[in-house]
A and B are shown apart, each in its own frame.
Chain A
Amino acid sequence: MSELKLERADVMAKLMAVRGDALIIAGLGSPVWDVASSDHKPENFYLWGGMGCAVSMGLGCALAQPDRKVWVVTGDGEALMGVGSFATVASQRPANLAIIVLDNEHYGETGMQRTSTSHGTDLAAMATGAGIPTALAITDMAGVDGLAAALTSGPMPLVAVVKIAASKPNLVLPPRDGVYLKNRFRQAVLGATDAMHAG
């Protein structure tokens, strides 16, 4: 097990500084609070459920919006549940999709039980094995700086697994109403008229 030292809030601050107009899908659990506390805006879709679906949702969005970057920000438990999606992403090779896994090696919302990554499972290696061309394993702030550079101008798709401390996140809760979250995201991306009449 690697030494866990990065703080999630510090990582998020570095990444959000280079966000630009990237769209964000936040995976169930602490990453939702992380994204809400670091850069709350309509271009964030917060998953309050559907564990294991953040990556496939990001893929669907990235394929629909090829000219915009799409970031999936999720945790190790959520990523493990939908880990087959690494293969699905690899087979599509979307050049605008980044998957950022904040890996604290624990299920944070259910009582801090250990995940498989605390027992040796290597999510970055799984991404590589799935065929993701750029898979980064990050354990220190220099690595986070490298990730920020990759998010700005590096090749995608990429998976970045950032090892972080199992400390408490800033509990900043975004709205929970799924219909509202969906419509505000679509309005921000498509404009008000297309968002409501594109059927």
Chain B
Amino acid sequence: MADPWTVEAHRLFKKHGIKTVGYVPDAGLTDLINACDADNDIKAVVMTTEEEGIGLSSGAWLGGEKAAVLMQSSGVGNTVNAIASIVSSCQFPLFMIVPMRGQYGESNPWQIPMGQATAPVLRSLGVRVYEVDTEEDAVGAIENGLKMAFVSNAAVAVLIGQKLIGAKSFIADVAEEVTHV
């Protein structure tokens, strides 16, 4: 059986020379974040808001390095002006991996509106959006997205569907017993 997409993503980061990985965590990113954190050749940067990832990535490019940005789909809303004003105006490369919430089997209703808005918002900003629902498609989109971002100065977001990462069953994941009041 092939390695999970998170293992392949880390491998592809190395292959394509990604030196900085900025992230705001998501459950679906845990394995990839841990792999980057443990890698001495990658600067893993925990950020306070997703918008910082756009500055971080663009600043890295100014300094001659490639960065990737990881965030949950809700966080895409925090990146809008930075993508439009900085990435689009300057044609900075941008590569994002975005696990989805509110898209397929979501159990938190507050996640659904931004989940529905994620892809259209990114497209409206000129970001190339790859929506993937299988391991194979995820790996292919990450490989080709990395190429396109850094060779063609494109902004690319790979949206990892809940069909692939699973919908969080919410409180039952972290507590032995759930009480509803």
Contact = CB atoms under 8 A, between A and B. Distances in A.
B134 interface: no
A59 interface: yes
A45 interface: yes
B86 interface: yes
Interface string A66-87: 0000100000000000101101
Interface stretch (B26-34, B55-63, B102-110): B55-63
A59 B46 CA distance: 12
A91 B46 contact: yes
B142 interface: no
A189 interface: yes
Interface residues of A, number: 42
Given A50-B86, A60-B59, A88-B46, A199 B150 contact: yes
A1 interface: no
Contact of B63 (A63, A87, A178): A63
Nearest to A179: B91
B90 A60 contact: no
A31 interface: no
Interface centre among B47, B49, B89 (most CB of A within 10 A): B89
A56 B62 contact: no
28 contacts: A23-B63, A25-B59, A45-B62, A49-B84, A50-B55, A53-B51, A57-B55, A60-B58, A60-B59, A61-B60, A62-B59, A63-B19, A63-B60, A63-B65, A64-B60, A64-B64, A82-B52, A82-B55, A84-B48, A84-B49, A84-B52, A87-B48, A88-B45, A92-B45, A178-B86, A179-B90, A189-B63, A199-B152
Interface of A: 23, 25, 45, 47-65, 70, 82, 84-85, 87-88, 91-92, 178-179, 181-182, 185-186, 189-190, 194-195, 198-199
Q: What 7 pairs between A and B have smallest CB-CB spacing?
A: A60-B59, A64-B63, A56-B55, A84-B48, A49-B85, A178-B90, A53-B55
